[in-house]
Amino acid sequence: YSPEMGIYISSDPIGLAGNNPTLYGYVQDVNTWLDIWGFNVFWSGRSPALEAARVFTSNNPGRVVLEDTSKGIELTNITKEMDWIDAKPLWNNASAEFAENAVADFNAGKISHVDVFINDAHYSGSISVWESVEKPILVKNNIPIVEHHINVKCT
């Protein structure tokens, strides 16, 4: 089993001899294997930006925001009752990994750019996770960024 790839690398890894001599008989079909993170979409500026990004991902199969990945869902559940000061380091780590995955997708030729949805009404600039964590990783690796701006006030 290759944990990095998420597949068994021998045809009968546990000796079942099930007459299925494939690399994907036990875990996942490598012919239709999708990146577990999807093609990353970023956002900043509270929930209206997240909702705009989610509308975009729903209309663009294979695109995903961190919060809708299994890791993002788990992290949301863990941090929903936490103060932001305590939750932010956890989100920073997950966001850095999410951005690094976008770099890998770009370098592999899977994507030509990343999209970010910014709610100008609540954008926190340099202290946002986007500006302080995700964007620097993408810029450092010369990943083209397409910004989508909205302006929705939250109460």
Residue range 77-136, pLDDT digits in tens: 988 899 989 988 998 998 899 899 889 989 998 888 888 888 877 767 777 888 999 999
Joined together, the tokens standing for residue 47 give 């929930």
pLDDT band at 15 (very low <50, low <70, confident <90, very high): low
- CB contact at 8 A, 152 and 121: yes
What is the total residue count of the chain? 155
Is residue 42 within 8 Å of 130, Cβ to Cβ? yes
pTM across the whole model? 0.68
